[in-house]
Amino acid sequence: RADPVEMPGPGCTAETRGKASLGHGDRGVRGVHLRCPWMKDQVGPLAQADVALGSDLLSAQVHGGTDLKGTNSRFDGQVSVRPPPVFRYGIRAQDKVTLDGLIKVAWELTQKEQKALRLRGNVNLVNFAAQHSLGGLKKVFGRIPFQQDLELPNFKSIRWAYLISDNPFKRVDTSKFVPLTLDDSLVTVGELNALEKNFGPLRARLSLQQNMLTIDKLDADLFEGVLAGQGFIDIQPSRLMAGLQGRITKLNATLLSKRADQSQAAPLSARLALVVDLGKSLVEGRVDVTEIGRNQLLALVDVLDPSGADPLLNKARLGLGVGYPRFVGLQMQQGYLDLDVGIGGVVEQN
């Protein structure tokens, strides 16, 4: 149902303040205002609309225009989404994610010569929270800028105009990313949890360009220590990867192990560079430990071998009973972990 719409002629203006019911409660379209300035080869305002779906779940505002040929267009708007309390993605009881908070998206879409599209804008998170059985986050606030250059090769499909395939850790010229990393693009996460461990808060500057989500100026409180660095997530379905490069300072290694005596603090510091292939469940990279003692190394060994089944790690445990660590390094490649430990003292051994 809607109010009558009048079309007055070449300079037409049509509007309705009624509601179009979609058959599910108050979901519908209301407050539509349409203007038609027929100006050849010139982009002008063509349509304005206020769209509301549901009472609280989704609201949107759209403004835009196009030329008569339809080759150049520009639309912008805002979308506010309040996610459902529970999102299910499978049939098992644990196949669910609980959600809370508010997501606001301000966007701009431009079309040039029909087949070239650019979508850019900002995602604002307001007290967002998500929890899965494996982990989650709470009290998320901040802004994430994004930009997507797209193509319509045959008007039936859409694809990225180009992909970012370089290692993000190697990029040093950030001048072209300045519009995406404004001073207010900081995202803060109040609490994080994973594998029955809690940590946080976390602060970082995030931006999404094409297939690459860049994480810059990462700073997180992690097990009584600090993690600082940078990271990335490649969202290509065929190349889903994540990376982290940075430093860990004064991390309490006893909090990582269930067997260690947590009454004795064991600060650990290290440099790390890791890349995770999420599609193949592989981790590659290395960790160079720069500060470690006997208690810290024993806690690390307990994390890698909690049941005491590995003979070499048991040998390291015995050596640490009368000695001390001289160096520790971890390297991961093709699904294998190489732990290199040097023990000094009465009996030196590697």
Q: Name the strand (E) or helix (H) holding 105.
A: strand 96-112
Partners of residue 341 on adjacent β-strands: 328
Cα–Cα distance measured from residue 322 to residue 344, given in angstroms and rounded to the nearest whole number: 9
The model's pTM is 0.72
Long-range contacts of 49-58 (CB under 8 A, 24+ apart): 52/26, 52/27, 52/28, 53/22, 53/27, 53/28, 54/25, 54/26, 54/27, 55/25, 55/26, 56/82, 57/81, 57/82, 57/83, 57/84, 58/82
Cα–Cα distance measured from residue 165 to residue 23, given in angstroms and rounded to the nearest whole number: 46
User: Which pLDDT value is given to residue 184?
Assistant: 59
Cα–Cα distance measured from residue 268 to residue 263, given in angstroms and rounded to the nearest whole number: 15
User: Which pLDDT value is given to residue 294?
Assistant: 81
Please measure the distance between the N-terminal and C-terminal CA atoms of the chain and give it in whole angstroms: 80
The pLDDT profile of the chain, 350 residues, written as one tens digit per residue, is 344 444 444 444 445 444 443 333 444 444 445 454 443 344 444 444 444 454 567 888 888 877 766 678 888 888 899 988 888 877 887 788 999 999 999 999 998 877 789 999 999 999 999 998 888 999 999 999 999 999 888 777 888 999 988 665 654 444 444 444 445 578 999 999 887 788 889 999 999 999 999 998 999 998 888 999 999 999 988 888 889 999 999 888 777 766 545 556 668 888 988 888 877 778 888 888 888 888 778 877 888 888 888 888 888 888 888 888 888 888 888 778 888 888 887 667 77
User: Are 315 and 308 spatial neighbours (Cβ–Cβ below 8 Å)?
Assistant: no
Cα–Cα distance measured from residue 132 to residue 189, given in angstroms and rounded to the nearest whole number: 16
User: Which pLDDT value is given to residue 261?
Assistant: 56
User: Which pLDDT value is given to residue 203?
Assistant: 93
Q: Report the 3 state secondary structure along 214-267.
A: EEEEEEEEECCEEEEEEEEEECCHHHCEEEEEEEEEEEEHHHHCCCCCCCCCCE
**SS3 of 147, please?**
strand
User: Which pLDDT value is given to residue 125?
Assistant: 94
Partners of residue 284 on adjacent β-strands: 275
User: Which pLDDT value is given to residue 252?
Assistant: 82
Tokens of 333: 């490649």
User: Which pLDDT value is given to residue 287?
Assistant: 87
Tokens of 164: 């970012």
User: Which pLDDT value is given to residue 113?
Assistant: 75
User: Which pLDDT value is given to residue 189?
Assistant: 93
Tokens of 305: 């071998």
Parallel, antiparallel, or unpaired: how do β-strands 73-81 and 96-112 relate?
A: antiparallel
User: Which pLDDT value is given to residue 266?
Assistant: 67
